[in-house]
Copies of this chain bind each other. A is one copy, B any other.
């Protein structure tokens, strides 16, 4: 495996298990592709399938899953607390080993062209794959969700897709991009008051002057208030700083963190940084951890 790309595919289905299973099957039957993790959630009504492999099989699997999702998921009847614009909602390609972010951006653009041409779906390119500066931010593309985009795509020039038709059907649009590994991490609070979670989210997120590289929303999930966090660059803001900030804000609001939830997978060096901080070993890295150190020395190294 000389080149490894990860895809963290987000689909707007978290309630019908058979649909989620069929999406996973569409991905894992592609030879060379390994499904690493999947999670689904009733309230978000959303599933996330993380998989990895060489570039071509990863893109082929993404195409098959986008096609299947567009056939099985109807956004006109979709309810969920998470922002979304499509059945296959967000498809990011992430460099893991022997491949650059720029190469992943090119792969994403090629995949987007194919989705538009063969499936007749509007495609938006985001982050490193964006072809317009206002498309680097996923939240801008998804603003107002499916319901708003359905009207705006036909009338607002700013919301024209990068590829595909300027009209939207029950499968919605597909947002395809390339980015570095992000950490999707939720912290549940010891309260059902979603306003506290929303308040904490505004305190910690970059867009409101909080921590750099942090996106956050306050949500109501499973009867509990949840701070839903995306850390887009854990080298800029270490994950432990995010947890410390939420812990402090929760205490100030008179609640506490009841438990965490990791969506998808977390990069190894982000975990080592968290542990290193807790152990007063700020330099802790793979070289000092038995298994990865041994792998590195025998020449089996994952590059960042």
Contact = CB atoms under 8 A, between A and B. Distances in A.
Interface of A: 1, 4, 6, 34, 36-37, 52, 96, 181, 185, 187, 239-240, 243, 257-262, 265-268, 271-272, 274-275, 277-281, 284, 287-295, 297-298, 300, 302
Contacts of A52: 294
A279 B290 contact: no
| Interface core residue of A96, A271, A272, A287 (most chain B CB under 10 Å) | A271
A279 B185 contact: yes
A294 B4 contact: yes
A52 B243 CA distance: 36
Contacts of A274: 274-275, 278-279
Contacts of A284: 262, 266, 271
A36, A37, A96, A294 — most chain B CB neighbours (10 Å) = A294
Contact of A300 (B278, B281, B300): B300
A294 B1 CA distance: 11
Most chain B CB inside 10 Å of its own CB: which residue of A36, A187, A239, A295 = A36
Contacts of A265: 288-290, 293
A28 B272 CA distance: 27
Given A271-B272, A275-B271, A280-B257, A37 B294 contact: no
B288 A262 contact: yes
A289 B275 contact: no
A252 to B, nearest CB: 18
Nearest to A266: B289
Nearest to A185: B279
Contact of A293 (B4, B36, B260, B297): B36
A55 to B, nearest CB: 15
Nearest to A188: B280
B279 A291 contact: no
A291 B262 CA distance: 16
Contacts of A278: 240, 243, 274-275, 277-278
A69 to B, nearest CB: 23
A36 B297 contact: yes
A303 to B, nearest CB: 10
A197 to B, nearest CB: 15
B279 A34 contact: no
Contacts of A294: 4, 34, 36, 52, 96, 302
18 contacts: A1-B298, A34-B297, A36-B294, A37-B293, A243-B279, A259-B280, A260-B279, A262-B281, A265-B289, A265-B293, A266-B284, A267-B290, A268-B291, A271-B271, A271-B275, A272-B275, A274-B278, A295-B295
